[in-house]
Every structure is written in structure tokens, then in C-alpha cells.
Structure 1
């Protein structure tokens, strides 16, 4: 999965470079389209792939503010007051 994310990242990076090259060559319409496709691929392909690969095998409830997690944070907060 890590290699797939890296591969997609480099493809998008190449698309940005090629798009700006076409803009530099005064072909603004094609350059803008390539850059726009790169932005769309970044938003709708790369970011979800990255988030999925980083959050695999993790419990989402550990990161949610539930009553149990708030109580657990308050209990731990009271224990670490020795240096105040």
C-alpha cells in the first residue's frame, strides 16, 4: 500500500510539472487542464489512499470523544500532578 501511495504521488507531481511546462510554452488551456486533473487526483485519489493506509488496523473509537474516553483522560490528568 505504501508503494501505491508513493507511485500515485509521483504521478501527480509529474502532472503538475508537465502542466506548468505547457503553461510556460503558452498553451494555457492544456496546462490548466493537466494541473486541474492533478489537483482532482490529489484530492480524490491520493488523500483517501493515504488516509486508508495510515488508519489500517487502528480502532476509530480510540480517537472519538466518548464518555469513557473523557473519563479516562480526566483520571490520567489527576495522576500526573506531582510536578506542579
Structure 2
């Protein structure tokens, strides 16, 4: 059975959100509550988000997103076409 990266990212996200929610439902004076909240936050922002961004940007060409003279001219041409009509 082949597990795709999107499923792994989704499971990490669910586990992180579950950990945060569990930490928030514990009593305020419980010594483990901040650890659950912090662990869920770390899982969400330092594990799940970079994996998601890496997965989504793998198939993209970074030259298309750079501000080069050619890309600036293309954007200006698109603006001119939109304003003419």
C-alpha cells in the first residue's frame, strides 16, 4: 500500500490540531497542558507546513516567480490588455 505525501501531511496536521485541542481542554493548572499545545504548534508549523510547501512547489518552475525583466514585461503587457478592453 503506497501512502502519498499528502496523506502524511494531513495526518500530521490532524495530530497537531488534536494535540492543541487536547491541551486546551485540560485544566489550566495541569502541568502537561502547555506541552501538548506547544507540541501541536511545532508539529503544525515546523513539520506539516514545510512538508506541504515542499510538496506543492516540487513541480513548479522557480524562474516563473522571479522578478526578471522578461517577467516584468509580461506582467505589464497583461495589464495593458486588461485596461484596453
TM-score normalised according to structure 2 size: 0.81
Q: What does residue 80 of structure 2 align with?
A: 78
Q: Structure 2 unaligned segments of length 5 or more: list them.
A: none
CA contact (8 A) 1:19 1:31 kept: yes
Rounded to whole Å, the distance in 1 between the matches of 2:41 and 2:49 is 11
The structure 2 residue matched to 1:32, chosen from 13, 16, 34, is: 34
Residue 5 of structure 1 pairs with residue 9 of structure 2: yes
State the Cα RMSD in Å.
1.6
2:62 is matched with 60
Question: CA 1:82/1:11 → structure 2, altered by over 3 Å: closer, same or farther?
Answer: same
Normalised by the length of structure 1, the TM-score is: 0.81
Q: How many residues align structurally?
A: 81
